[in-house]
Amino acid sequence: MKALTRTDLQLPGQKSVYHGKVRDVYNINDDLMVMVATDRISAFDVILPKGIPFKGQVLNQIAAKFLDATADIVPNWKLATPDPMVTVGLKAEGFRVEMIIRGYLTGSAWREYKNGCRELCGVKLPEGMKENQKFPEPIITPTTKAEEGHDENISKEEIISQGIVSKEDYEQMETYTRLLFQRGTEIAAQKGLILVDTKYEFGKRDGKVILIDEIHTPDSSRYFYAEGYEEKFLKGEPQRQLSKEFVRQWLIEHNFMNQPGQVMPEITDEYAESVAQRYIELYEHIVGEKFVPEQVCDNIEERIQKNVSEWLTSKNK
């Protein structure tokens, strides 16, 4: 099983390339973006030393399906998916915040709550809540989008007062965030899942706020299985999850949270393949379709180069 951990494409009209934690993003004529979902995987703000086969295809195809399924309520950047690991779309000026919306008290929010925190990003939290409990209504807890290191929690008021995003644009993002989460929740429920929390990124193009990046993937979202949720919650048992959380838990069990002095555990081929199988399982549950792996070729990068170049060339004809 092969994994693609880096690309160095040479595309028609290419102006620059940005290698993120898991995506390689190519700027085409300052007008389009070619986003390659590689098989890199990150946790605790660090890229793990081994790629996960098919992860990029899983994430790219989930995101593409959800971008299409929400295009009627929120304008987005997607134009085409010329390769299973690639989305091409409109270039936008990205806002320097990520919009995180939470329907349930879990993950980092629960860790803070357990330590006595009763206000998150300016949002007051009720007393007496338990882990994995549903909020009375979803809360938005934005973070700053850091170039390096950790994203930082920030309140709506701070974002606006510091001029990071204008009041008008922020409120538009807030409205879109709630609409997207509602639609994602409805789609998840049809698949026997609960959309627990997720993040959205927005940008501006031609004076309009548009949705960019991936949405509702297991890397950007957390899902619970609806069946058994109530029983497990009442018993205080861990929920069955569909998210990248299982990778974080594995790292924690191996004493790694990217703290000073901690050493990344070895990622064996066997472990990488087991993670690949979990991602395929995630795809099939979230999308409700059998995952069809792209035919493994000797050089995945060459395939992407060919597919994307052909699409760009045909668009310019």
Q: Is residue 275 part of a domain?
A: yes
Find, among 226, 142, 176, 188, the residue nearest to 73 by Cα.
176
Domain match, 118 and 64 both: no
Domain match, 114 and 226 both: yes
- Residue 174 pLDDT exceeds 70: yes
What average pLDDT does this structure show over 244-252?
A: 89
- Residue 303 pLDDT exceeds 90: yes
CB 222 within 8 A of CB 107: yes
For residue 210, name the pLDDT band (cuts at 50, 70, 90): very high
Q: What is the pLDDT, as a whole number, of residue 96?
A: 95
Q: Is residue 8 part of a domain?
A: no
The CATH number of residue 101's host domain is 3.30.470.20
The range of the structural domain enclosing residue 301 comes to 14-92+265-315
Domain match, 233 and 291 both: no
pLDDT in tens, 67-124: 999 999 999 999 999 999 999 999 999 999 999 999 999 988 999 999 999 999 999 9
- Which is more confidently placed, 242 or 135? 135
- Residue 159 pLDDT exceeds 90: yes
For residue 149, name the pLDDT band (cuts at 50, 70, 90): low
What average pLDDT does this structure show over 16-42?
A: 96
CA dihedral of residues 222, 226, 227, 229 (deg, nearest 10): 70
Q: What is the pLDDT, as a whole number, of residue 178?
A: 98
Domain match, 103 and 55 both: no
Q: What is the pLDDT, as a whole number, of residue 45?
A: 85
Domain match, 43 and 140 both: no
- Residue 263 pLDDT exceeds 90: yes
The tokens of 8 are what? 């160095």
Q: Is residue 310 part of a domain?
A: yes
What average pLDDT does this structure show over 267-288?
A: 92
What average pLDDT does this structure show over 267-272?
A: 94
Domain match, 84 and 100 both: no
Give how many domains the chain has, as a whole number: 2
Q: What is the pLDDT, as a whole number, of residue 51?
A: 95
Q: For the chain, what percent of residues have pLDDT higher than 90?
A: 86
Q: What is the pLDDT, as a whole number, of residue 123?
A: 96
Domain match, 232 and 178 both: yes
Domain match, 48 and 185 both: no
Q: Is residue 254 part of a domain?
A: no
Q: Is residue 260 part of a domain?
A: no
The tokens of 314 are what? 């045909």
Q: What is the pLDDT, as a whole number, of residue 244?
A: 84
Q: What is the pLDDT, as a whole number, of residue 2?
A: 87
CB 75 within 8 A of CB 297: no
Q: Is residue 257 part of a domain?
A: no
Domain match, 79 and 202 both: no
Q: Determine the Cα–Cα distance for residues 119 and 124; give it in Å rounded to an integer.
A: 4
Domain match, 44 and 68 both: yes
CA dihedral of residues 166, 167, 168, 171 (deg, nearest 10): 120
Q: Is residue 75 part of a domain?
A: yes
Q: What is the pLDDT, as a whole number, of residue 296?
A: 65
Domain match, 188 and 292 both: no
Domain match, 194 and 271 both: no
The CATH number of residue 54's host domain is 3.30.200.20
Q: What is the pLDDT, as a whole number, of residue 145?
A: 80
- Which is more confidently placed, 166 or 2? 166
Q: What is the pLDDT, as a whole number, of residue 317?
A: 64
Q: Is residue 6 part of a domain?
A: no
Q: What is the pLDDT, as a whole number, of residue 148?
A: 60
